[in-house]
Amino acid sequence: MNKFIGFRVLKFFVLIFFILSFSIASGQTGNINTPSHDNAVILGSRYSIVDTYNISESDFIRGADISTFPQIDAFGGKFSVNGKTTNLLDILSDNGVNYIRLRLWHTPRDWYCGLESTLEIAKKVKAHGFKLLLDFHYSDWWADPANQKKPTAWEKLPFDLLKDSVYAYTYKVISLLKAEDALPDMVQIGNEISPGMLFPDGAVSGSTGWQKLAQLLNSGISAVHSAANSPVKIMLHIDSGGDNAKSRWWFDNIMAQNVPFDIIGLSYYPWWHGTLVDLKNNMNDLAVRYNKDILVVETAYPMTNKYLNDGMDNVGFDEQKLIPGYPVSVKGQTDFLFTLKNLIKDTANKRGIGFIYWEPAWIWQKPFGTAWEYFTLFDPVSGEMLPSLEEFIEDDSTATGIDEGTFENGNPQFPQDPNNPKYPGANAIPTDIVLYQNYPNPYNPTTIIQYYLPESALVTLKIYDLLGREVVQLVNDTQFAGLHQTEFNAIRHQLTSGVYIYSITISPNSDGVSPSHSVELNSGSGEKILKSGEAYFTHSGGMNPASHSDGISASHSDGMNPISGSINYKSDAINYNSGAASLSHSGAMNPAPHYRTSTPRTISKTMILVK
């Protein structure tokens, strides 16, 4: 990506799949009024109920691209913590950063980001215990969707010699780094190469575009493996973090060319690349479709809009395209990082492996200005560390990282977190709405969805595809407090393999009366209708006729007795036309109280169908 806004106008295509409104869970950080809007604060934020994750914090990449640091350091730039000047690498390490990304230009005009400069900083990075991601731009300057210019030294080479040059140059770089104990742990071949690389030869336009791009990529990848002679992860990086159509188009074509790589790299800047929902949906789909790990390799969020008159054009942002609930402030930046890392951890099949923050330390150090002053994790003038950097600290007990409940042999187990007032005690009954991860997941063809209501409410439960189209409505009913479940069968709806969204909306039962039901239960022995009762029943058994003649076999925790094919409760009856049912009741049998939440709340999760 060209980080200077004055050079070229970048073209980004944002595909909005659907709008999901996510509620704010009170009692954690305060009450925030979040607009219901396609940019709404989503699953994984401080104010929402989040999905579960298992990924190890020690393996999760919490990285920083500090490619500009050598230039800042050369001009005397200083960084500090609580006013005490401290080495930048020490600050990053102390605050949980475990990966450093460095860009490499072929023949830069001012030495920085060239091989010699990069080798020097790479040795320091590895000596500090960081893992290293090396970013080959294969250009003398910025390579991004608008700029993929060949190095001047390669401009007139025929294609076969260009491939050889890519191999020879890449081999040389990796060999030198290895010799200096600075071998990268990961290498990306090209930077934001959605249109291709090394133009015009490697541009994807034209009848042979993808074949030529694949040959150039293969040259670089082969050189890395030959020179390293040890495992080094290969990443292919495009710019379209929130654009699933563009991402699928690119990786479908590159996979068709059999290019060997390990990691999908995505850039995600919210004001250019769509909403957090867009990012989440894209990562989930790519994870299932390609079975590859995914790294958000470039990201940032503004903490100020104050312009510095430092002689350098700024990269700007449109505040209208930022995420509501995440203001332009240090707190907004902090909350964005908190949300992002948990969203990535929740990627389908646990394929989300981390993120790299782009240039968090690009501060202003005269005479060298900064184009990134709105987005740094340090004060852009003083170099003082901002609290947002602390979000990189390894912490398995982060509040929203704790799952709301897991399954054991198909049964929900409530969280065991005594420090979270929302979930008091081991296996305590939750005091807030909980939507559990479906079980099994991935599934084929049936799966169970369970949810918990602390009070009675009007509930709708729907399944959507990734384009936001409703597949089926599973529940639309007023229900009592307690644990509820429903089974979803993909065969009935002729679904294909992929990622789907299941979404529950809980609305207040504001009329103060008890729930009434009309729930259809299907069987081969007749239609069963649950009518006008003050109890919620979950069908938990077969609908085949019972061998005994009294009509219904039912188990209840409230002492209700089946009598001659009907269940009487406060003058209402549950009547069955034929056959028998096994009924279980979970929840209070008392008339419904007023629901305390005054606005509807929606919680969503992803599930994966594999055929």
SS3 content of the chain, % helix, strand, coil (to 5): 20, 25, 55
Average pLDDT over residues 91-119: 97
Q: How many CB atoms lie within 10 A of CB 500?
A: 21
Q: Could you identify the residue written with the tokens 């939750």?
A: 430
Q: Residue 516: pLDDT above 60?
A: no
Q: Are 324 and 35 in contact (CB under 8 A)?
A: yes
Confidence at residue 430, expressed as pLDDT on a 0 to 100 scale: 65
Distance (Å, whole) CA 457 – CA 471? 23
Helices (H) and strands (E) in the chain, counts: 9, 29
In total, the chain counts a number of residues equal to 611
- Angle formed by the axes of helices 244-256 and 209-228, nearest 10°: 70
28 secondary structure, DSSP code:
S
Average the pLDDT over each of 257-266, 468-477, 568-577 and give the range with the smallest value: 568-577
Average the pLDDT over each of 172-176, 472-476, 603-607 and give the range with the smallest value: 603-607
- Tell me which residues are annotated as active site: 192, 298
Report the DSSP pairing between strands 196-197 and 202-203: antiparallel
Distance (Å, whole) CA 250 – CA 444? 29
Q: Is the model more confident about 519 or about 64?
A: 64
Average pLDDT over residues 465-493: 85
Average pLDDT over residues 17-22: 33
Is the residue at 430 inside a domain? yes
Confidence at 499, pLDDT banded by 50, 70, 90:
confident
Confidence at 415, pLDDT banded by 50, 70, 90:
very low
Average pLDDT, the chain: 76
Confidence at 357, pLDDT banded by 50, 70, 90:
very high
Q: Coil, strand, or helix at residue 196?
A: strand
Q: Coil, strand, or helix at residue 531?
A: strand
For residues 533-572, one letter each, b for 16 or more C-beta atoms within 10 angstroms of the residue's C-beta and e for the rest, the string is: bbbbbbbeeebebeeeeebbebebeeebebeebebebeeb
Tell me, yes or no, whether 389 and 429 share the same domain: no
Is the residue at 28 inside a domain? no
Q: Residue 471: pLDDT above 60?
A: yes
Tell me, yes or no, whether 469 and 379 share the same domain: no
- 381-397: per-residue pLDDT in tens? 999 999 999 999 986 43
Distance (Å, whole) CA 298 – CA 147? 17
Tell me, yes or no, whether 290 and 418 share the same domain: no
Confidence at residue 386, expressed as pLDDT on a 0 to 100 scale: 98
Strands ordered across the beta sheet of 562-563: 562-563, 566-569, 572-575
Average the pLDDT over each of 11-25, 98-112, 190-204 and give the range with the smallest value: 11-25
Average pLDDT over residues 165-172: 98
Most confident of 403-412, 454-463, 567-576: 454-463
Q: How far apart are the first and last CA of the chain?
A: 38
Confidence at residue 611, expressed as pLDDT on a 0 to 100 scale: 64
Q: Residue 32: pLDDT above 80?
A: no
Is the residue at 54 inside a domain? no
Is the residue at 505 inside a domain? yes
The phi, psi pair for 601, rounded to 5°, reads -130, 140
Q: Residue 185: pLDDT above 90?
A: yes
Q: For residue 360, is the peptide bond before it cis, meaning its omega torsion is within 30 degrees of 0?
A: no
Q: Which of 342, 365, 395 is the last residue of a domain?
A: 395
Q: Residue 247: pLDDT above 70?
A: yes
Is the residue at 26 inside a domain? no
Q: CB within 8 A of 376, min separation 6: which ones?
A: 303, 359, 360, 361, 362, 363, 370, 386
Q: Are 332 and 375 in contact (CB under 8 A)?
A: no
Q: Residue 19: pLDDT above 60?
A: no
Give how many domains the chain has, as a whole number: 2
Q: Which of 395, 422, 454 is the last residue of a domain?
A: 395
Tell me, yes or no, whether 359 and 429 share the same domain: no
Confidence at residue 497, expressed as pLDDT on a 0 to 100 scale: 80
Q: Which of 395, 428, 446 is the last residue of a domain?
A: 395
Confidence at residue 257, expressed as pLDDT on a 0 to 100 scale: 97
Confidence at residue 475, expressed as pLDDT on a 0 to 100 scale: 93
Q: In the chain, what percentage of residues exceed pLDDT 70?
A: 70
Strands ordered across the beta sheet of 434-435: 434-435, 446-453, 482-489
Tell me, yes or no, whether 347 and 454 share the same domain: no
Kindly report the three-state secondary structure assignment for every residue of 393-412.
CCCCCCHHHCCCCEEECCEE
Distances from the Cα of 269 to the Cα of 154, 195, 274, 302, 358, angstroms: 32, 18, 8, 10, 10
Average the pLDDT over each of 12-16, 46-50, 279-283 and give the range with the smallest value: 46-50
- 131-154: per-residue pLDDT in tens? 999 999 999 999 999 999 999 999
Confidence at residue 565, expressed as pLDDT on a 0 to 100 scale: 36
Tell me, yes or no, whether 413 and 378 share the same domain: no
Is the residue at 337 inside a domain? yes
Kindly report the three-state secondary structure assignment for every residue of 459-504.
EEEEEECCCCCEEEEEEEEEECCEEEEEEEECHHHCCCCEEEEEEE
Tell me the torsion sign for CA atoms 397, 403, 407, 411: positive
Domain at 239, CATH number? 3.20.20.80
Distance of CA 600 to the CA centre of its chain: 24
CA dihedral 425, 427, 429, 433 (to 10 degrees): 100
Q: How many CB atoms lie within 10 A of CB 55?
A: 18
Q: Residue 367: pLDDT above 60?
A: yes
Confidence at residue 45, expressed as pLDDT on a 0 to 100 scale: 30
Confidence at residue 372, expressed as pLDDT on a 0 to 100 scale: 93
Distances from the Cα of 560 to the Cα of 118, 534, 587, angstroms: 76, 12, 13
Confidence at 567, pLDDT banded by 50, 70, 90:
very low
Tell me, yes or no, whether 331 and 477 share the same domain: no
- Which residue segment(s) compose the domain that 137 sits in? 61-395
Q: Are 272 and 243 in contact (CB under 8 A)?
A: no
The phi, psi pair for 499, rounded to 5°, reads -95, 135
Q: Residue 571: pLDDT above 50?
A: no
Q: Is the model more confident about 459 or about 408?
A: 459
Tell me, yes or no, whether 506 and 605 share the same domain: yes
- CA angle, corner 218, sides to 216 and 222, nearest 5? 125
Confidence at residue 454, expressed as pLDDT on a 0 to 100 scale: 82
Q: Is the model more confident about 313 or about 551?
A: 313
Average pLDDT over residues 256-285: 95
Q: Could you identify the residue written with the tokens 């379209």?
A: 240
Tell me, yes or no, whether 369 and 437 share the same domain: no
Distance (Å, whole) CA 302 – CA 380? 12
Is the residue at 391 inside a domain? yes
Q: Is the model more confident about 407 or about 469?
A: 469
Confidence at residue 520, expressed as pLDDT on a 0 to 100 scale: 39
Tell me, yes or no, whether 189 and 83 share the same domain: yes
- The amino acid that residue 473 corresponds to is Q
Q: CB within 8 A of 586, min separation 6: which ones?
A: 482, 483, 484, 536, 538, 557
Distance (Å, whole) CA 49 – CA 401? 9
Confidence at residue 598, expressed as pLDDT on a 0 to 100 scale: 57
Q: Please name which of 179, 213, 220 lies closest in space to residue 198, comparing C-alpha atoms.
A: 213
Confidence at residue 310, expressed as pLDDT on a 0 to 100 scale: 82
Q: Could you identify the residue written with the tokens 């969020």?
A: 301
- 451-470: per-residue pLDDT in tens? 888 888 899 999 988 777 88
Confidence at residue 307, expressed as pLDDT on a 0 to 100 scale: 86
Confidence at residue 558, expressed as pLDDT on a 0 to 100 scale: 38
Tell me, yes or no, whether 486 and 587 share the same domain: yes
Q: Please name which of 329, 385, 407 lies closest in space to residue 84, comparing C-alpha atoms.
A: 385
Largest separation between any pair of C-alpha atoms in the chain: 93
> The pTM is what?
0.62
Q: CB within 8 A of 412, min separation 6: which ones?
A: 405, 406, 436, 450, 452, 483
Q: Is the model more confident about 459 or about 18?
A: 459
Average pLDDT over residues 527-541: 36
Tell me, yes or no, whether 360 and 453 share the same domain: no
Is the residue at 34 inside a domain? no
Average the pLDDT over each of 37-41, 140-144, 354-358, 447-451 and give the range with the smallest value: 37-41
Q: Is the model more confident about 284 or about 515?
A: 284
